[in-house]
A and B are shown apart, each in its own frame.
Chain A
Amino acid sequence: MTARPEHLPERLALLADMQAATYITEGLLTGREDVPSIALNKTTEELPVDDARFRLRRVRDLIDDVMYKVQAEERPVTAADAWLAPRLHATLRLTRREAADARLWNYLALGVAPDYVVRRHLPTTPKKDGGAPSVARARFRGVHYTQAFARLWWTAELFRNGPDYTPVVVACGNQDMLNTALRMDVVDHRPTALALVRLIEREVIRTGREANALASAVNASAATLMYDVVAQDSERDAEPLRDWIAAAEGASPVSRNALPEGPEEERAPETSVDVLTDYFEGLFADAPVRGREVVEESSAG
């Protein structure tokens, strides 16, 4: 199995797609090889700012802990994501602008924790053609909703309610919700994201298929309905995030047990989340779910 990199510099860095591609080998994807960490660190670029947030150690410590958890837990996948997403977010304390730089995620996946990416994303079953199971390339280098670390960070960013990461944990509990919703523009509206989570909490949505059906209905309905108007969010304020980032210097490592706290941003108005939760529940009741309504339909038709 791919091992922890031998060479871990003091600071995080940026790794361009072109360079990243050269390290994503068949050997790595199948977990048989390690990343040549010394060579890799020669092709990186420095981060534009030098502050405490980017001390590599802080992230690697989290990875070490989660690796341990992955081995210990019974349902490793969702539990690991639910544990790591808020903690990664609270450790890195990135702005969205910084988080939009794929080079940082490339570096995390290849330079800091290739062992984790392989452990987390290596399928347990062999390929259809009988080949050895391999990690999808996009887990190392890919868009924000597929890359191993970007997807966790963005889940935390889009599903947190101000400083409260609880909804993030819930969202991670339904991997299909994570995979489907994260790629849709509708979750850029906070009350929408929180209403989706609430339906999981209420156990209206239990399975992956249900999550997918709900997500498609919400996405389709959003083509004609402006959720932002029927369920207003509070106005964005840049200051809490700025303060939170500034406080990174003196912050102690995030708690391994209790949920960390995010920036002290205003929470989404409760009424807005309620309005959408009810509306989505109605949508879901109407939506065809694969496997759920087949019988009804065929008997009706």
Chain B
Amino acid sequence: MRAYPYPRPSGPVTMRVTAVRLSGPDEAREDLDTKGYSVVEQVVALGRAERSDWETARLKLSATVPAREMETKGHWSEVTVVAVLAEKATNARTVARLEPEGPANREWTGSIMLVRPDHLDRATLSVHVVATVDGVPGRIIASSERDWMVDVTADVPLRDRQLDVVTVSFARAAEWLRPFRDAPWMVDTSGRMPTVRLNTDFDGLTALVQGAGTKVESLVGEMLLSQLCTDVWTAVFHTAIGDLEIEDDGTPLLPPDWRGEVLREMLPDVVPGRSVEDALREVHARRTGDGTWAELQPRIHYAATRRAEVPKALGETVRGIERLDQEATA
């Protein structure tokens, strides 16, 4: 829990994107369809734009602040509300001031510009209320609880992301893949998002995991799929835990990208009952120091099978086979 050396209002700050205008070369303008952003998901999908050559996106925002509380308590003066658009991957940070709208100073509106070459993937958008408190100007007295995501490439405004899955012939692909020609799939965790490569040299593999074909094929496909997913989750977990940024005092930091998300998802199964930060510290300590890394493997495997829904797939397969047997004997 946090405490601050100055008073802060307790009411919530909320923010939403109300319009998005993209600008390209030669005065080209496009207003993004509201389907391109979701208040539920709090995501803006700029990849939805009709034209791909846009260079800037101006996001119109509307924020609500606990104005009445701020008025009554009276600790704060020179109140400003700012929106911050930032992306870790590009160290980009843009700040825009919002202006109060209406008499109560409850709603603040304005716009912030996203410069496309400054962004790679997903920027976060948040709102902060800044005021002079006890004679100190510029104090952050409140912030929006959940950041918006501004995704410069996605065409659907969803928070969850899918790993990339591609089909490729390992035998005829890039040279580095050829040594793996006997593997049905491979997980490459080095990109912006992990990529799963399905080896097309295995005839019918793709159709099988897609669940196409006869009943038997779809049962096998389901098992295969959960096997694949277990492999993937195990691989991404190891990548995530192996690539941690360690601070000078030895504290491992949750990575800002998909690695952090994967750890947040799987750590509660690897080290149950602890906060994610606590669990991360423990896993990192075991991996680097005290030699109990091997003892942790079953738990990582457990987390991966759970994440891959293996128990469910197995149950369904067993039931499916029984049914097939009954049909065969009937």
Chain B residue contacts of A227, Cβ below 8 A: 138
Given known contacts A43-B174, A228-B95, is B84 in contact with A97 (CB within 8 Å)? no
Q: Is B181 an interface residue (CB 8 A)?
A: no
Question: Nearest Cβ in chain A — how far from B280, in angstroms?
Answer: 17
Q: Contact between B140 and A16 (Cβ–Cβ < 8 Å)?
A: no
> Which residue of A99, A144, A223, A229 is within 8 Å of B138 (Cβ)?
A229
Stretch at the interface among B62-70, B114-122, B298-306, B315-323: B114-122
Kindly report which residue of chain B lies nearest to residue A186, judged by CB atoms.
B93
The answer to whether A143 and B245 touch (CB under 8 A), given A100-B120, A241-B117, is: yes
**Does B190 have its Cβ within 8 Å of any Cβ on chain A?**
yes
Enumerate A188-247 residues with CB–CB distance to B below 8 Å.
188-189, 223-230, 232-233, 235-236, 238, 241-242
Q: Shortest Cβ distance from B122 into chain A, in angstroms?
A: 12
Does the CB pair B90–A97 fall under 8 Å? Answer: yes
A250–B143 alpha-carbon span in the complex (Å): 47
Considering the complex, which residues of chain B in the window 131-147 have a beta carbon less than 8 Å from any beta carbon of chain A? 136-140
B55 partner residues in chain A, CB cutoff 8 A: 238, 242
Which residues of chain B are near A224, meaning CB under 8 Å? Answer: 4-6, 139-140
Contact A236 B94 (CB under 8 A): yes
Q: Does B188 contact A (CB under 8 A)?
A: yes
Known: A18-B190, A96-B119. A225 touches B91 (CB 8 A): no
**CA distance in complex: A277, B45 (Å):** 39
Given contacts A95-B118, A96-B117, A100-B90, contact A228 B84 (CB under 8 A): yes
Residue of B nearest to A44 (CB): B174
B147: min CB distance to chain A, Å: 14
Give the contact-size bracket for chain B. 35 or more
Q: How far is the CA of A224 from the CA of B189 in the complex (A)?
A: 36
Q: What residues on A are CB-neighbors of B82 within 8 Å?
A: 226, 228-229
Query: A158 within 8 Å of B by Cβ?
Result: yes
B93 contacts A189, C-beta separation under 8 Å:
yes
Q: How far is the CA of A202 from the CA of B290 in the complex (A)?
A: 46
Q: How far is the CA of A42 from the CA of B116 in the complex (A)?
A: 31
In the complex, B163 has a CB within 8 A of chain A:
no
Chain B, residue nearest A230 (CB): B138
| CB of B14 within 8 Å of the partner chain | no
Decide if A17 is an interface residue (CB 8 Å cutoff). yes
> Residues of A at under 8 Å CB distance from B?
16-19, 22, 42-43, 95-101, 143-144, 154, 157-158, 185, 187-189, 223-230, 232-233, 235-236, 238, 241-242
* 3 cross-chain pairs, A with B, having the tightest CB-CB distances, nearest first: A17-B190, A95-B117, A230-B138
B-side residues, CB < 8 A to A, are: 4-6, 55-56, 80, 82, 84, 86, 88-95, 97, 113, 115-121, 128, 130, 136-140, 174-176, 188-191, 245
